[in-house]
Amino acid sequence: MNIGLIGAGAIAHFLLKEVNYNQLENLRIKSVLVRNKEKYRLLESDFGVKVFTDLEAFLDSEIDIVVEAANINAVKTLLPSVMKKKDVVLISVGALADAALLTEIGNLVNEYKYAVHLPSGAIGGLDLLQNAHALGTVTSVSLTTRKPSKSLIEEDIDEARVIFEGKAVDAIKRFPKNMNVSIVLSLAGIGIEKTSVCLVADPHIDKNVHHVVIKGDFGEATLTVTNNPLPENPKTSYLAAMSILGTLKRIDRKLRIGG
C-alpha cells in the first residue's frame, strides 16, 4: 500500500523511519505534502519520497491512502478535497469537534465512498466502547486526563489542580491542543455533548495519564493509560504515533482482531 503524508513534523518523521527506513512489509510512503518544499527537500534523499506543495499534484501521485499528520487547520482546509480522491487516516481528530465539518465528512463519505480511519491516538478501549454501545445502552463515559502542570498552565503550583470539568464539546474548545483524546472517545461512544471530561494539571508527574470509565447495560469498564513521549519530540505521545502505524498495518488484513 502506497501512502501519502500530509505534514512533516514529529509523527511524520516517526512514520518515515518505521515504514521506509526500516522497509516495513507491504507499506511504503511515496509522497509528502508540505507548505515549504525547500525546508523539507532532504526528505526526498533521506527516505526516497517525493515532496509536494500542491494538493492536487500530491493526490494524483502514486499513493493509495493519505495520512494526515499535521494539525487541526490542515484537516479543516484540506480534508474535504482529499476525501474526494483517497481514503484517509486522520490523527488531528480535534477538528471533528466542529459539527459542520463532521457533517460534511459524513456527506463526503456517502457521496465518494472513500473511508476515513480514526486511530485511537493516546488512549485505548475504543473497540470495547463501540461494542458495549452496539445497542445504544452505554449510559455514561468519563475521561480524567492528568498532565504535567507546566504543559497546561503558566502558574507554578504545588498540588494537583482541576482546570476543567465539563463536557467534551467544551473541553476541546478551551484546550484544542490537549483534548484530542476526548473527541475520539466521544465519537466512539455517546457523543461530545454527553461525554464527561476532567482535566487536571499535576506538578508531580512528567507523563500524560488518561483514565476512562464506561458504564452501561453491559456492566462497567475502567482503563488507565500512561503515555511516554515520542523520543524525538516530548510534546508528542509515543502511543499516538504508534496508533497510526498500527492502523495502517491492519487496514488490508483479512484476519482482524477486535473492532
Domain ranges of the chain: 2-118+239-251, 126-227
Q: Of the candidates 124, 167, 123, which has an alpha carbon nearest to the alpha carbon of residue 146?
A: 123
Q: How many CB atoms lie within 10 A of CB 106?
A: 11
Q: Give the orientation angle of helix 99-112 with respect to helix 72-82, to 10 degrees.
A: 20
Helices (H), strands (E): how many in the chain? 9, 13
Contacting residues for 96 by C-beta, under 8 A, at least 6 apart: 75, 90, 102, 105, 183, 187
Q: How many CB atoms lie within 10 A of CB 197?
A: 26
Residues 22-72 have pLDDT tens digits of 888 899 999 999 999 999 999 999 999 999 999 999 999 999 999 999 999
Residues 165-218 have pLDDT tens digits of 999 989 988 887 778 899 999 999 999 999 999 999 999 999 999 999 999 999
Q: What nine digits make up the cell of 229?
A: 513521549
Question: What does pTM read for this prediction?
Answer: 0.92
Of 13, 117, 210, 211, the active-site residue reads 210
Distance from the Cα of residue 77 to its chain's centroid: 17
210 an active-site residue? Answer: yes
CATH of 2-118+239-251, one of 3.40.50.720, 3.40.50.620, 3.30.9.10, 3.40.50.80: 3.40.50.720
Residues 138-160 have pLDDT tens digits of 999 999 999 999 989 999 999 99
The per-residue pLDDT for 172 is 83
pLDDT band at 224 (very low <50, low <70, confident <90, very high): very high
* CATH fold of the domain at 126-227: Dihydrodipicolinate Reductase; domain 2 (3.30.360)
Asked if residues 19 and 245 have their Cβ atoms less than 8 Å apart, the reply is yes
Distance from the Cα of residue 178 to its chain's centroid: 12
Asked if residues 177 and 197 have their Cβ atoms less than 8 Å apart, the reply is no
Contacting residues for 8 by C-beta, under 8 A, at least 6 apart: 32, 34, 40, 43
